Amino acid sequence: MSPWPFIWKAVDVLLDSAIRLDRYLDEKKARKKRGLSFKDVQHQQSQIAAATRSRAPTVILRRPRP
């Protein structure tokens, strides 16, 4: 009797369990609560401050009257 049917069955079981584990980990990650960390908020505030500082003042050019 050839050992190949047993080998293919073992490969099939391993791949099936790997797929189930991957799906379980994805579901677990989806259930995890996500929020902004202190570093995220600090980074956002520094970006806003840098953008505010770099903004050039508006200059209004007057056109001569016709």
pLDDT tens profile 47-59: 998 888 777 777 7
pLDDT digits (tens, 9 = 90+) for 7-23: 999 999 999 999 999 99
pLDDT digits (tens, 9 = 90+) for 37-47: 889 999 999 99
Torsion sign (Cα): 25, 30, 33, 38 = positive
Return d(Cα 2, Cα 46) in angstroms, integer: 67
Return d(Cα 60, Cα 54) in angstroms, integer: 19
pLDDT score of 58: 76
